[in-house]
Amino acid sequence: MQRRVTGLTAAVTALGMAALLAGCGGSGGSDEVTLKLVAADYGDSAANTSKKYWGELVEKFEAEHPDIKVDVDVLPWTDVDRKVKEMVAADEAPDLAQIGAYADYAAQDKLYSADDVLSIPTQADFLAPLAKAGLVQRVQYGMPFAASTRLLFYNEKLFKSAGITPPENWNELQAAAKKLKARGVKYPYALPLGKEEAQAETYQWMLSGGGGYTDNVGSYDIDSKQNVQTFTWLKDELVGKGLTGPTPPGKLNRAEAFAAFARGEVGMLNGHPTLMKMAAKKDLKYGMVPMPGVNGKTQATMGVADWMMAFKQNGHRKEIGTFLDFVYSKENVLAFSREYDLLPVTTSASQDMAADKKDAKRLGGFLEELPTSQLYPVGKTSWAQVSVQIKEYIGKTVDPNGDPQAILSQIETKAAAEEAAQ
């Protein structure tokens, strides 16, 4: 497929060159184009706000491409998805949006595909699991922008005092949690199944038990035999034995669990790179290992990606492509990943990061997990609502009177209904 053709056919007619330029997105006969990008802020202070990253990147880009200007609006994660949704509803879609989900816009035929805007080398450089997660009906609309995986974090001081080593399977995890509990550790294993991000902890445990959200052909399979067995084990062997701390898992949010770990109150929990900074600020010594599986190392860990998407409304396909090829250069992908302790979404940048001793020391374990990671089924337009159901009900599976089979089947039924309604 030929990339970035303008879509104009025939020769210039009596309308004249000025009209042709106007049709290509220029104004007043000028051939200068301004792209509008709405992006999420990954910073946690004014010092590392994403406004700084985008400002420096755009300055370099515009110096090389004086005919293309880029106007970037950086918003907090609490606002950015809503803002883009409102803009699209008002027929004022940006040219580009860097947010959390793309499938709804793809289903409404509002997006360029990756084929439409990216050069072949740029598109081919995306890591395979991330590119696959960006597909809708086998066409890539979601372009991965940032990624992370999960590892099991453990408190080195607590493990040493309890005389235990990092677990490699569920039985060892339970045995370690029992020893931590015996020494008075508040949360031997922190199990955050609260509404903030329950879908993440849920998915990691499903994968470690050989299951997942979907089956091999991509259909929801939430109440699979493996998933039921996983949550039955959690209910009976961890929560039921008092190994997950004083807060019921259904009421424990990720942010609270991470903060407790940084305070030294958690023996072990699943975490992503952000937790490293939190622990370092508290001078907490910690280790990281792959998440244990039911009988050994988990075959696949959970991956998470945020997405870039290109809207068709303003017709700036060529200019969008030129800008995105610049955004996804190895240099720029590495700069963003290093600034925010995230994983590169391209093969070239990942290889460079893995070869760098400083990067490998911090993020090597996460990088190793990414090529075999499994992402949420974000290509399904139903996923947003299914995720809501998981956040609402999954914590009940491990309550004292919880019924994992019944609750997982309830979520599965609603998921199937949502999928059928699309």
Residue-wise pLDDT tens digits, 22-63:
344 433 345 799 999 999 999 878 888 999 999 999 999 999
What integer is the mean pLDDT of 248-273? 96
d(CA 97, CA 296): 40
The dihedral region occupied by 186, where left means phi > 0, alpha psi between -120 and 50, and beta the remainder, is: alpha
| Whether the predicted pLDDT of 262 surpasses 70 | yes
Q: What angle do CA 371, 372, 376 make, to 5 degrees?
A: 105
d(CA 294, CA 230): 8
- Position 29 scores a pLDDT of 40
- Position 124 scores a pLDDT of 98
* Mean pLDDT over the full length of the chain: 91
| Whether the predicted pLDDT of 8 surpasses 80 | no
Map out the domains of the chain with their CATH numbers: 16-148+304-375 (3.40.190.10), 151-300+382-421 (3.40.190.10)
- Position 371 scores a pLDDT of 86
d(CA 108, CA 141): 12
DSSP at 236: I
Residue 406 identity: A
| Whether the predicted pLDDT of 263 surpasses 80 | yes
- Give the pairing type, strands 266-271 and 187-189: parallel
What integer is the mean pLDDT of 116-126? 98
- Position 1 scores a pLDDT of 42
Which region among 29-33, 166-170, 212-216, 360-364 has the lowest average model confidence (pLDDT)? 29-33
| Whether the predicted pLDDT of 2 surpasses 70 | no
What integer is the mean pLDDT of 266-283? 94
User: Are 189 and 269 spatial neighbours (Cβ–Cβ below 8 Å)?
Assistant: yes
Which letter, b or e, does each residue of 72-97 get, where b requires 16 or more Cβ atoms within 10 Å of its Cβ? Answer: bbbbeeeebbebbeebbeeeebbbbb
- Position 47 scores a pLDDT of 87
- Position 52 scores a pLDDT of 95
Confidence of residue 269 (pLDDT cuts 50, 70, 90): very high
Could you tell me what percent of the chain has a pLDDT over 70? 93
| Whether the predicted pLDDT of 296 surpasses 70 | yes
DSSP at 151: E
- Position 300 scores a pLDDT of 84
Between these two residues, 297 and 240, which has the higher pLDDT value? 240
Residues in the chain: 422
For 367-400, the pLDDT digits (tens) are 999 988 999 999 999 998 999 999 999 999 999 9
- Position 48 scores a pLDDT of 87
- Position 30 scores a pLDDT of 56
- Position 16 scores a pLDDT of 40
| Whether the predicted pLDDT of 10 surpasses 60 | no
Which region among 111-115, 200-204, 235-239, 357-361 has the lowest average model confidence (pLDDT)? 357-361
What integer is the mean pLDDT of 215-235? 97
User: Are 106 and 88 spatial neighbours (Cβ–Cβ below 8 Å)?
Assistant: no
- Position 292 scores a pLDDT of 96
